[in-house]
Amino acid sequence: MMKSKVMLFVIVLLAVSAMAAFANGEKAPATAAAMPQRTINVLLWDDPYPKALMAMLPEFTAATNITVNIEMLQPPQVLTKTAISVTNTTTDYDVVGIDEGNVPVFASLLLPFDSWYKGTVYPKTDPKSVTPKMYSIGTWNGVQLGVPINGNLYVWMTRKDLIENPTYMSQFKAKYGYALGVPKTFKELLEMGTFFNENGIAAGFGPFNGGPAGVLSEAVFMWESYGTKFIDFTGGTFKVVLDEDKAVEGMEFYKKLMTISPKGAETMAHVERQAAFAADPKGVFSMFIWPAQIAAYEDPTKSLVAGKIAYSAPPAGPRGQAAVTGAWAIAIPKASKNQEAAAEFIYWWSSKAIADKLVQANTIPARTETLTNPAYASSKPWLPALADSMKVAASRPRFKEIGQVQDVVKKYWIMGITGAMPTRDAVRAIVKETNDILQKAGY
Amino acid sequence: MKGAGGHGSPVPFLLPALLIVFAVLIFPIIFSFVVSLFDWPLSAGGGSRRFIGASNYVDLVKDKEFWNSLKLQLGFIFIAIPLELVLGLAAALLLNREFQGGRVIRALILLPVFFLPVVSGMTWRFMLQPRYGALNNFLLALGAPEITWLGDPTFAYAAIIIQDIWRMWPFVFMLLYAGLAGISTDILEAAEIDGAHFSKRLFSIILPLLYPTILTALLLRIIDALRIFSEVYVMTEGGPGMATTLFSLYTHRQAFGYMKVGMASAMAIFLLVISIVFAVTLVRKNMSLEKLEERGGDR
Amino acid sequence: MKLATKRKTITMAVAFFAIAVLLVELYPIVITLLNGFRTDLVILSGQKFSLKQLTTTSYALVFKNRLLMKAMGNSIIVGIFSTALSVGVGAMAAYGISRFRFRGRNALAYSFLVFRMLPQMSLVVALYLMFRSIGLRDTIFGITLAHSSFNVPYVIWMLIPFFTAVDKSYEEAAMVDGCSRWKLFHMVFLPLVAPGLVVAAVFSFINSWNEFLYALILTGVNARTAPVAISSLIGGDTLTWGQMCAASTVMLMPVFVFTLAMQKFLIRGIAAGGVKG
Cα–Cα dist C273/A189, whole Å: 69
- Supply the pLDDT for residue A11: 56
In chain C, where are the structural domains located? 56-272
Nearest residue on chain A to B44, judged by CA atoms?
A87
- Supply the pLDDT for residue A350: 92
A293 contacts C238? CB cut-off 8 A: yes
Nearest residue on chain B to C49, judged by CA atoms?
B134
Closest in B9, B192, B261 to C125, CB measured? B261
Mapping DSSP to helix (H, G, I), strand (E, B) and coil, where does residue B206 land? helix
The top-scoring range by mean pLDDT among A73-77, C82-86, C263-267 is C82-86
- Supply the pLDDT for residue C261: 74
User: Is C227 part of the contact surface with chain B (CB cutoff 8 Å)?
Assistant: yes
The stretch B44-58 carries a mean pLDDT of 87
For A325, phi then psi, to 5°, come to -90, 150
CB C233 within 8 A of CB A74: no
With a CB cutoff of 8 Å and minimum separation 6, the contacts of A67 are: A28, A37, A38, A39, A40, A61
- Supply the pLDDT for residue C277: 34
Q: Per residue in B199-212, pLDDT tens?
A: 777 777 788 878 87
User: Average pLDDT of chain B?
Assistant: 83
Residue B276: list chain C partners with CB under 8 A.
110, 114
Nearest residue on chain B to A416, judged by CA atoms?
B241
The stretch B214-226 carries a mean pLDDT of 85
For an interface test with B, which of C35, C41, C121 has the most B Cβ atoms less than 10 Å from its Cβ?
C121
- Supply the pLDDT for residue C3: 66
C132 contacts A90? CB cut-off 8 A: yes
The DSSP-derived string for A106-118 is HGGGB--GGGSPP
A109 contacts B46? CB cut-off 8 A: no
Please compute, for residue A439, the number of CA atoms within 13 A of its CA located in the half-sphere on the CB side: 6
Between positions 9 and 28 of B, the ones with CB within 8 A of C are 9-14, 16-18, 20-21, 23-28
For an interface test with C, which of A3, A11, A22 has the most C Cβ atoms less than 10 Å from its Cβ?
A22
The stretch B50-77 carries a mean pLDDT of 92
- Supply the pLDDT for residue A164: 93
Q: Which amino acid is located at C132 in the chain? A: R
CATH 3.40.630.30 fits B63-257, yes or no: no
User: Is A259 part of the contact surface with chain B (CB cutoff 8 Å)?
Assistant: no
Q: Decide if A28-151+327-383 and A155-324+401-441 have a common fold.
A: yes
C260 contacts B107? CB cut-off 8 A: yes
Residue B6 scores a pLDDT above 60: no
**DSSP alpha helices (H): ranges in A39-165?**
48-54, 57-64, 75-85, 103-106, 132-135, 160-163
A87 contacts B259? CB cut-off 8 A: no
User: Is A106 part of the contact surface with chain B (CB cutoff 8 Å)?
Assistant: yes
In chain A, where are the structural domains located? 28-151+327-383, 155-324+401-441
| DSSP bridge pairs for A68 | A40
User: Is C17 part of the contact surface with chain B (CB cutoff 8 Å)?
Assistant: yes
C114: part of which helix (H) or strand (E)?
Answer: helix C105-115
User: A86 versus C9: which is more confidently predicted?
Assistant: A86
Instruction: Give me the percent of chain A exceeding a pLDDT of 90.
Output: 60
User: Is C276 part of the contact surface with chain B (CB cutoff 8 Å)?
Assistant: yes
Structure confidence at residue C67 as a pLDDT band (50, 70, 90)? confident
Tell me how crowded residue B293 is: count the other CB atoms within 10 A of its CB: 22
- Supply the pLDDT for residue A417: 94
Structure confidence at residue A31 as a pLDDT band (50, 70, 90)? very low
C73 contacts A23? CB cut-off 8 A: yes
Of the candidates C160, C162, C164, C185, the residue with the CA atom closest to the CA atom of residue C109: C160
State the smallest CA–CA distance between residue A195 and chain B in angstroms: 21
DSSP state of A122: S
CATH 3.40.50.300 fits C56-272, yes or no: no
User: Is A145 part of the contact surface with chain B (CB cutoff 8 Å)?
Assistant: no
If 0-12 CB within 10 Å is exposed, 13-18 middle and 19+ buried, where does residue A118 land? exposed
Residue C4: list chain B partners with CB under 8 A.
none
If 0-12 CB within 10 Å is exposed, 13-18 middle and 19+ buried, where does residue A377 land? middle
C125 contacts A301? CB cut-off 8 A: no
User: C85 versus B147: which is more confidently predicted?
Assistant: C85
User: Is A15 part of the contact surface with chain C (CB cutoff 8 Å)?
Assistant: yes
User: Is B95 part of the contact surface with chain C (CB cutoff 8 Å)?
Assistant: yes
C236 contacts A76? CB cut-off 8 A: yes
Q: Per residue in B127-149, pLDDT tens?
A: 888 877 878 888 888 887 778 88
User: Is C61 part of the contact surface with chain A (CB cutoff 8 Å)?
Assistant: no
User: Is C120 part of the contact surface with chain A (CB cutoff 8 Å)?
Assistant: no
Residue C162 scores a pLDDT above 60: yes
Q: Which amino acid is located at B265 in the chain? A: S
State the smallest CA–CA distance between residue C115 and chain A in angstroms: 23
Residue A275: list chain C partners with CB under 8 A.
44-45, 239
Residue C66: list chain A partners with CB under 8 A.
22-23, 25-26
Residue A137 scores a pLDDT above 80: yes
Structure confidence at residue B193 as a pLDDT band (50, 70, 90)? low
State the smallest CA–CA distance between residue A411 and chain B in angstroms: 5
Structure confidence at residue B285 as a pLDDT band (50, 70, 90)? confident
State the smallest CA–CA distance between residue C23 and chain B in angstroms: 10
A139-140 and A143-144 beta bridge pairing: antiparallel
How far are the Cα atoms of A17, A19, B18 from residue A22, in angstroms, in the given order?
Answer: 9, 5, 39
For an interface test with A, which of B131, B160, B235 has the most A Cβ atoms less than 10 Å from its Cβ?
B131
For an interface test with B, which of A263, A267, A436 has the most B Cβ atoms less than 10 Å from its Cβ?
A267
DSSP state of C53: G
The DSSP-derived string for C188-200 is IIHHHHHHHHHHH
User: Is A73 part of the contact surface with chain C (CB cutoff 8 Å)?
Assistant: yes
Of the candidates A68, A100, A106, A62, the residue with the CA atom closest to the CA atom of residue A86: A106
- Supply the pLDDT for residue A134: 80
Distance of CA B276 to the CA centre of its chain: 16
Structure confidence at residue C1 as a pLDDT band (50, 70, 90)? low
User: Is A365 part of the contact surface with chain B (CB cutoff 8 Å)?
Assistant: no
The class that CATH gives domain A28-151+327-383 is alpha beta
End-to-end CA distance of chain C: 33
- Supply the pLDDT for residue C172: 78
User: Is C177 part of the contact surface with chain B (CB cutoff 8 Å)?
Assistant: no
End-to-end CA distance of chain A: 70
Residue C93: list chain B partners with CB under 8 A.
13-14, 16-18
User: Is C40 part of the contact surface with chain B (CB cutoff 8 Å)?
Assistant: no
B256 contacts A76? CB cut-off 8 A: yes
- Supply the pLDDT for residue B188: 67
- Supply the pLDDT for residue B267: 92
Instruction: Give me the percent of chain A exceeding a pLDDT of 70.
Output: 92
Structure confidence at residue B3 as a pLDDT band (50, 70, 90)? very low
Residue B26: list chain C partners with CB under 8 A.
115
Q: What angle do CA C146, B256, A430 make, to 5 degrees?
A: 160
A105 contacts B43? CB cut-off 8 A: yes
Sign of CA dihedral A158, A160, A162, A163: positive
User: Is C132 part of the contact surface with chain A (CB cutoff 8 Å)?
Assistant: yes
CATH 3.40.190.10 fits A155-324+401-441, yes or no: yes
Residue B238 scores a pLDDT above 50: yes
Lowest model confidence (mean pLDDT) among B95-99, C25-29, C102-106: B95-99
Residue A1 scores a pLDDT above 60: no
Structure confidence at residue B195 as a pLDDT band (50, 70, 90)? low
- Supply the pLDDT for residue C274: 42
Nearest residue on chain A to C41, judged by CA atoms?
A302
Cα–Cα dist A225/A220, whole Å: 8
The stretch C136-144 carries a mean pLDDT of 93
Residue B240 scores a pLDDT above 90: no
Structure confidence at residue C120 as a pLDDT band (50, 70, 90)? confident
CB C35 within 8 A of CB C43: yes
B151 contacts A418? CB cut-off 8 A: yes
Omega before A123 within 30 of 0, i.e. cis: no
- Supply the pLDDT for residue A339: 93
User: Is A267 part of the contact surface with chain C (CB cutoff 8 Å)?
Assistant: no
Q: Which amino acid is located at C267 in the chain? A: I
Query: Looking only at Cα atoms, what is the longest distance across chain B?
Result: 75
State the smallest CA–CA distance between residue B81 and chain C in angstroms: 16
Q: Where are the beta strands (DSSP E) in chain B?
A: 38-39, 50-51
Between positions 289 and 328 of A, the ones with CB within 8 A of C are 290, 292-293, 295-296, 301-304
State the smallest CA–CA distance between residue B156 and chain C in angstroms: 18
Lowest model confidence (mean pLDDT) among A22-26, B83-87, B210-214, C3-7: A22-26
B181 contacts C252? CB cut-off 8 A: no
